[in-house]
Structure 1
Amino acid sequence: MGKKLHLDRIHLDKLTVNFDDRFTLSDVDWTIEPQQHWVITGTNGSGKSALAAVLSGVGKIEKGGISSLPDNVGLVSFEAQAELIAKELKKDDADIMDVISIGTPVQEMIFADCKDPELATRLIEKFGLTKLLERAFRKLSTGETRKVMLIRALSSKPELLILDEPFDGLDVDTLAMLQEHLISIKEVTPMIMVLNRFDEMPSFITHVAYMDKVGMHEGRLSLTVDRQNEGAFNELYQLLHLKTSDLSIPAADPSSALPDLDPSQPLVNLKAATIQYGETVIVDKLNWVIQPGEHWQLSGPNGSGKTCVLSLITGDHPQCYTNDIFVFGYQRGQGESIWQIKQFIGYVSTALQWEYRVSTSCRNVIISGFYDSIGMYTKSTDQQKKIADDWLHLLGMKDRANQPFNKLSYGDQRLLLIARAMVKHPPLLILDEPCLGLDDMNRQLVLALIEKICAGSETTVLYVNHHAEDKIKGIENYLRLEKNN
């Protein structure tokens, strides 16, 4: 093992960087301490690669600054790879000689600026490039080109090694060798990786930086997590899992299928709905139609009647029978039972979470949604257990199936209750202030799950909150109630 490299503390101080007017990193405040190893992760288009590139000197600084950036930075990225290939292709366009340029051979690419030829030679053999040393770099496959880039960076004795999606495009054997080599240098070389998948994260990574997209061409660093903080790390894992995995909403159980609705009828039709107590009018002549497949956001200040309107839909408000209301093809007051209506509704609220105090497992909380019960009082089927486990997998909680619900964090409880409400794929899912009482990370988790539901199910979502500006991708219909004076 070599002597530990001394890397000064790197600090990005409220840094804003422009990348040829194509993308902007905004107001980044980030400190990298000596001997830390970081993963940069986040959603597509959030600026993960841009942040890594800044550490190699790329981009135009518009505000703030970087202190103590080392001179010798090893960089492997698809952008750097494409840039090298573009330079090679330019040699074909230079008609200086009367001979056709064959391009730079692999051997020259690797050894031209190599500071550790012995390591480079070992890696060439390990990565199976010995027979390709005389071949032109631009003639290599994508995976072979990536191997050359890795050898160049690793043998340059970098003071800081930046690896942007280093495992992409590598075969299984090469991947294993690279991971083994990175472990062997972790004591002497600080590393920063860009990864989309948490399950590819090496064990020696100490910290995670989470990037968030704030506009079409703008990203920011929204969160940093110490891996030793197990609670925060697990929450970040769940968030990335929900936002970046290709897992879809689990299927419904055919044996628990709801009756078919008339697709030509709206789910909800309120005609001049009014709620008043004596002379006090809470809701005044509200007209509102919710069609199947439309996702709605209902917002407004306290006292504007949001909960009253919801209770008109669910049938829990006594004045629902004095108004002209159609829900799921039923006209209120025509002899339908409240359960005929509620079977088509999934409902999540803070009040429900307060009521759900039973000590049952995470799996059984989800299964209880098949029975609209709080707790489990019926033996579940194998199919219901499988669907519940699929939901736990989607939530990034598959290892917690048997944990007691009342031992979970407040945010995890909320996620499970949304899954419970969704398990039957109700035509209408009502989420009444689902982020109330949650910290920022758990709020992002809940919003990510709502986005997933909006994108991947036949359920219409009605999202209720205070702030109209707190928008969710996939929800394009908005109703704001104002408080009557």
Structure 2
Amino acid sequence: MQSVVLEKFNGYLQGQGKSRYEISDLNWQVNQGQQWLLLGANGAGKSALCAALIGEAKLKSGKYKSTFNNMQLVSSDAQKQLIKDEIEHEQPTLVKELIFTTNATYNHALRMELIEVLNLSTLLNKHFRDLSTGETRKLLLINALSSNADLVVLDEPYDGLDKSSCETLTKVLAKLSTHINFVFVLNRLDEVPEFITHYGYVNEGKLQHALANPDNEQRADLFKLLHLTHTSLAIPQPENTPSQTEYIDSPLVKLTNANVAYGGVSIFKNLTWQINQYQHWQLSGKNGSGKTCLLNLITGDNPQCYNNDIQVFGFKRGSGESIWDIKQHIGFISNALHMDYRVSISALNTIISGFYDSIGLYQKPTDAQIMAAKQWLALIGLSEKQNTSFTQLSYGDQRMLLIVRAMIKHPTLLILDEPCLGLDEANRQRVLLLIEKVCAAKTSTVIYVNHHAADKIKGIENYLKMEDFH
């Protein structure tokens, strides 16, 4: 019987820069036929344990033995590395070149089937750099699942996928679970596959609880460990209260019959959208439907904004306004921003950088800005990490910081593009409550982008579906 055994395992994982994650006294065995799910808070060590399981950790003492012939990993870090490698190439790579690689053994029939069911067949001749976040994740999944692996570790496999793709992936995984061993890391309890046989709860880099084929009561007790008791949350007040009357009689944003196309292929067309002050919106659509493209028209990060009839904060695009004229009014969080935010500054300064819309902090902050950042840190439970480098924090903690960074200046328009990606259940609920409080506080107007219908937020009553403009 194939298995992976870690017994009194002591080792470490080397991260970005000088960061290093220590693993101590880990005991874990995954046997053929077992389907595992790891649960735990952000920073608990779930991803580190998975890396150790597939042999990526440096062994200092103890035992590591694997009789699995082929082990694969799909994770945010793997996705980042793939993107980084592509950026370093002089020539852009086609999607089909990354899928139909000649230096790996894979199940061709299964790979073709996965390409079809995950809707990647029309993208094979597209440049990898042009894929959306969800499409990139699909590519990783296709390659890993069809690689003839005995064991596949899926660290947040649903992140970035739209609802239809999530449902399709669940069916695919259930079918493959008859002959592939899976280890899942999931933060959303509603994504847990029915075929899971073993549950593990991770805390401080240790597998503190492991349950084999638990009954409903045992499983419920384990899930309770994930839910933090929420104290009353209060949004720190802005230093200077924004004017409540500036945009009462005029829209914040107005797009009239907007059209965007690349290489003759339409992304969306005839899109008319008006956003009024404190009129909060939820923006939805499938992967590649143009959600991020639409947001970039508003922020000015898409050059086609000058080819369309767009008014933002009283400025008509192309009328001589500066980037600062627009961005001083906007707070923004997206997966792309998270990927780009690779500077080694402290958690506290990461939040303060939101006042300056900069990646990194290059100005001396005021005492009031420092105080505000500390209040936000306390709100998200990261006060003790205020001096920790951003790059040394867990993915979930990084995400929480970037969300607060977007909120700290109480922007006129707060754009939240999939803000909950990578967050555990407790932090996800905390972010949703934060957004609800921001909507009620009437200091910012919110655009919330999300694939999960269950994450509807009180106060957001307007909806824009990208499918209506194709």
TM-score for the superposition, normalised by structure 1: 0.48
Higher relative contact order (CA 8 A, sep 6+): 2
The structure with the largest alpha-carbon Rg is: 1
